[in-house]
């Protein structure tokens, strides 16, 4: 129904398409009168002009079906739009931060009538309809209203509710129909289907108030314990005896919480959980940006998962993918028949490496979509951090492109100005709305200021993955010990830039796939015990080195084979000490790290690190200090990376007294030979390494040893 003028008469025009009807009438609910409609087409298209009615009034349609059955129901077009002019203005401007509450599908009650309001952005469409089981997937039933220049189409369909499958049928300007899933959909059916499902995400009753309050209280204090366990939920553990099925969110929550608490990690980082059709993409080719994947349950089940972890003092970081999206025809690609979300020019809009499309960050509505997507995960699911994937590909227009395959920015440079502005805006809004939530960049270049605040000219992330340290350190440990002395610089070079960003030291899933080998098998040695010793030495060095920590699942017990997404980790290996010993060491390193402020609240302070000796390449030994500002607690770290026991090895230290051996990666408890310093050592008044006193040590083979000194002795 809409106001209409016919000749000199003012009135309202009512049209309806009811495929099963042979007759239809408009029922005035206030007057309880009916006006018969004219049947214009045998398929069931009806129309009537009602004169002397200047405004839309409350009415229902009364249809007489060919079977003789009589049905009376509300007409969707009797309800006014649910989006305001302000909503549309802010969306087109790129500043409607909660647009996910307006676009998409939302269960609402208008007056006393319940139903679902649908809204979608498709500015170049000739027609948009909502289709589903409720209308036989026939786009003639519920054509949506166009809200003018905003490009938004909307409709309220009474009688629909939770669990309805739906899509948008979009007729492009050439008359071609495209059936698309909802870009703002909150839940999706399983492949091979891809319909969106109406779902109210407000169903879970949260019980994590204490966690959220603590997170808010920590806002701004980012130099605190952060030890992250990266998890791919489908392959952490599986129900092997039940057809190797994946566990649900609700099944995983207690198992994962118990393990993470035992291991001493402060957070988990889940690989992308936004909906994606192909398991083999690991979640990085997203088609449902606002929907937790169906694979482990409903959105309410995911809320339970996060809530449970919070109640067990574990933070949840989500791997977020705003850098690209796949070409699947049912999703965002050429959404309304035009390059709506992506650039039209493949030199700007296509990733040749991944076969995906690049968002048009300069388009207000696209930026609004992505910013709102980030905020929706924090709002709906209480996520504690976003690890942003492939940031380097967003920063540079020539990322992985040859000469002539990219277009410079308006200043002639290679920086993607629009993407940089988008990242800055997202980081600022995340920190504004959700104090204490972390943003983390997976970024591998020397782009300056990634973790510098926006008001200081930076990009605004809290942390950046330290890809340089990871690459150089692994290159060193992959050498056989006899050759390591020629590559000593790989081990020490990272100290030169350690404090240029707020770094997280990482060994992620990327290091154990695509033929790179597992962490254990990367170690340059010939047999498993020696490889395990090298890996223990590496991990102890990693935990003692400045920077927050992240380790991918399975690496914590030295899984032998590469990670594969289609099965579970090789937990049976824990019966062998070579593997269980690595796990026990990680557990103890986390406990030491979290319990010692010098190590966990001093990662970003350049005054808290000092080399003792960075130049002993011939022995393949490094030694360094971690210390607090007052000099009341110090740690001396000694890494020896050849299979040689060194007796009488002397290092200088800045304090006299007893130095307690708090970690020895060569301990028999961890599967080592047990050589060490009997729990500690006392200084000698022998100058060494520019200090007036020193420690006379036994340095075990392939080991990292950590000593602690305190002013209390």
- Which tokens belong to 379? 């709002």
At CA 417, angle to CA 414 and CA 420, rounded to 5? Answer: 110
DSSP state of 188: B
Mean pLDDT of 158-185: 97
Q: What is the pLDDT of residue 682?
A: 97
Task: Tell whether omega for the bond before 485 is within 30 degrees of 0, i.e. cis.
Answer: no
In 3D, which of 561, 553, 475, 572 has the Cα closest to residue 521? 561
Q: What is the pLDDT of residue 8?
A: 65
- Which tokens belong to 637? 């770290």
Q: What is the pLDDT of residue 440?
A: 98
Percent of the chain clearing pLDDT 70 (strictly above): 99
Model confidence band, residue 3 (pLDDT cutoffs 50, 70, 90): low
Task: Domain ranges for the chain, please list them.
Answer: 2-78, 85-197, 216-598, 607-710
> What is the tens place of the pLDDT at every residue in 339-396?
999 999 999 999 888 999 999 999 999 999 999 999 999 999 999 999 999 999 999 9
- Fold: same for 85-197 and 216-598: no
Q: What is the pLDDT of residue 5?
A: 59
CA gap 633, 713 in Å, rounded? 10
In 3D, which of 11, 18, 9, 14 has the Cα closest to residue 26? 14
- Which tokens belong to 583? 């796990």
Q: What is the pLDDT of residue 713?
A: 67
- Which tokens belong to 140? 């003639």
Size (the chain), residues? 713
Task: State the architecture of 607-710 in CATH terms.
Answer: Sandwich (2.60)
Q: Which residue has the tokens 């899984």?
A: 559
Q: What is the pLDDT of residue 666?
A: 98
Question: How many CB atoms neighbour CB 672 within 10 A?
Answer: 24
Q: 295 Cβ partners below 8 Å, 6+ apart?
A: 190, 233, 234, 246
Q: 11 Cβ partners below 8 Å, 6+ apart?
A: 3, 4, 5, 49, 50, 51, 52, 53, 54
CA gap 658, 694 in Å, rounded? 11
43 is known as an active-site residue: no
Q: Which CATH class is domain 216-598?
A: alpha beta
The answer to whether 72 and 61 have CB atoms below 8 angstroms apart is yes
Mean pLDDT of 675-686: 96
Model confidence band, residue 406 (pLDDT cutoffs 50, 70, 90): very high
Q: What is the pLDDT of residue 54?
A: 74
> What is the tens place of the pLDDT at every residue in 265-304?
999 999 999 999 999 999 999 999 999 999 999 999 999 9
Model confidence band, residue 77 (pLDDT cutoffs 50, 70, 90): confident
Kindly tell me if the per-residue pLDDT of 1 is higher than 60. no
Active site residue: 389, 418, 578, 603, which one? Answer: 389
Q: What is the pLDDT of residue 85?
A: 96
- 3-state SS, one letter per residue, for 95-127: CCCCHHHCCEEEEEEECCEEEEEEEEECCCCCE
- Which tokens belong to 35? 């006006």
389 is known as an active-site residue: yes
Kindly tell me if the per-residue pLDDT of 106 is higher than 90. yes
Model confidence band, residue 4 (pLDDT cutoffs 50, 70, 90): low
Kindly tell me if the per-residue pLDDT of 625 is higher than 70. yes
Q: H helices within 402-556, ranges in order? A: 417-433, 467-477, 488-492, 519-522, 528-544
Mean pLDDT of 647-668: 97
Kindly tell me if the per-residue pLDDT of 428 is higher than 70. yes
The answer to whether 664 and 705 have CB atoms below 8 angstroms apart is yes
Q: What is the pLDDT of residue 535?
A: 98
Mean pLDDT of the chain: 95
Mean pLDDT of 430-444: 97
Q: What Rg value do the Cα atoms of the chain yield, rounded?
A: 31
CATH code of the domain occupying 2-78: 2.60.40.10
Active site residue: 154, 307, 442, 501, which one? Answer: 442
CATH code of the domain occupying 85-197: 2.60.40.10
Kindly tell me if the per-residue pLDDT of 7 is higher than 70. no
């Amino acid at each position: 129904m809409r106001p209409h003028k016919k000749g000199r008469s003012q009135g309202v025009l009512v049209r309806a398409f009811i495929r099963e009807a042979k007759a239809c009438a408009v029922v005035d609910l206030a007057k309880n009168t009916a006006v018969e409609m004219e049947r214009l087409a045998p398929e069931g298209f009806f129309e009537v002009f009602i004169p002397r009615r200047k405004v839309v009034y409350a009415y229902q349609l009364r249809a007489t079906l060919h079977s003789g059955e009589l049905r009376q129901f509300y007409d969707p077009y009797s309800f006014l739009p649910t989006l305001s002019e302000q909503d549309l203005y802010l969306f087109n401007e790129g500043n409607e931060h909660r647009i996910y509450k307006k676009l998409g599908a939302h269960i609402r009650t208008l007056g006393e009538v319940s139903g679902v309001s649908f809204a979608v952005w498709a500015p170049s469409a000739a027609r948009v309809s909502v289709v589903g089981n409720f209308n036989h997937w026939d786009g003639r039933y519920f054509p949506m209203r166009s809200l003018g220049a905003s490009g938004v189409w909307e409709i309220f369909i009474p009688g629909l509710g939770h669990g309805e499958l739906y899509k948008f049928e979009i007729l492009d300007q050439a008359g071609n129909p495209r059936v698309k899933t909802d870009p703002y959909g909150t839940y999706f059916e399983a492949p091979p289907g891809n319909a969106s499902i109406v779902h109210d995400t407000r169903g879970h009753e949260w019980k994590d108030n204490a966690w959220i309050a603590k997170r808010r209280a920590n806002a701004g204090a980012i130099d605190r314990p952060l030890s992250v366990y990266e998890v791919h939920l489908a392959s952490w553990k599986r129900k092997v005896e039940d057809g190797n099925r994946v566990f649900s969110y609700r099944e995983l929550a207690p198992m994962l919480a118990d393990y993470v608490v035992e291991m001493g990690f402060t957070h988990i980082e889940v690989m992308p959980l936004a909906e994606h059709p192909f398991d083999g993409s690991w979640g990085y080719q997203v088609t449902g940006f606002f929907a937790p994947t169906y694979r482990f349950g409903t959105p309410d089940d995911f809320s339970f998962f996060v809530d449970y972890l919070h109640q067990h003092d574990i933070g949840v970081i989500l791997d977020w993918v705003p850098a690209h999206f796949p070409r699947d025809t049912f999703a965002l690609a050429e959404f309304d028949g035009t390059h709506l979300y992506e650039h039209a020019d493949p030199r700007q809009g296509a990733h040749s490496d991944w076969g995906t499309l690049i968002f048009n960050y300069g388009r207000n509505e696209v930026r609004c979509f992505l910013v709102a997507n980030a905020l929706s995960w924090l709002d709906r699911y209480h996520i504690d951090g976003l690890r942003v994937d492939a940031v380097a590909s967003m920063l540079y227009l020539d990322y992985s492109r040859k000469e002539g395959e990219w277009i410079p920015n308006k200043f002639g440079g290679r920086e993607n100005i629009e993407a940089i502005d988008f990242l800055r805006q997202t980081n600022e809004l995340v920190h504004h709305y959700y104090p204490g939530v972390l943003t983390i960049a997976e970024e591998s270049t020397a782009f300056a200021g990634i973790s510098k605040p926006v008001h200081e000219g930076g990009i605004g992330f809290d942390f950046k993955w330290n890809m340089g340290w990871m690459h150089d350190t692994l290159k060193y440990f992959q050498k056989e010990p006899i050759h390591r002395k020629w590559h000593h610089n790989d081990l020490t070079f990272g100290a030169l830039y350690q404090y240029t960003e707020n770094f997280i030291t990482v060994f992620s899933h990327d290091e154990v796939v695509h033929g790179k080998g597992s962490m254990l098998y990367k170690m340059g040695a010939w047999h498993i015990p020696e490889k395990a010793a090298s890996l223990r030495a590496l991990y102890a060095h990693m935990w003692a080195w400045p920077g927050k920590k992240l380790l991918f699942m399975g690496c914590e017990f030295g899984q032998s084979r590469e990670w594969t997404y289609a099965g579970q980790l090789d937990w049976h290996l824990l019966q062998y000490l070579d593997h269980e010993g690595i796990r026990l060491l990680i557990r103890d390193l986390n406990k030491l790290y979290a319990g010692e402020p010098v190590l966990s609240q001093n990662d970003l302070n350049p005054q808290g690190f000092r080399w003792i000796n960075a130049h002993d390449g011939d022995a393949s030994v490094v030694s360094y200090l971690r210390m607090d500002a007052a000099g009341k607690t110090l740690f001396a770290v000694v890494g020896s990376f050849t299979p040689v026991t060194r007796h009488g090895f002397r290092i200088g230290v800045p304090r006299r007294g007893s130095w307690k051996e708090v970690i020895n990666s060569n301990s028999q408890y961890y599967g080592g030979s047990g050589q060490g310093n009997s729990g500690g050592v006392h200084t000698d008044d022998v100058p060494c390494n520019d200090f007036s006193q020193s420690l006379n040590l036994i340095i075990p083979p392939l080991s990292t040893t950590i000593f602690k000194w305190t002013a209390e002795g």
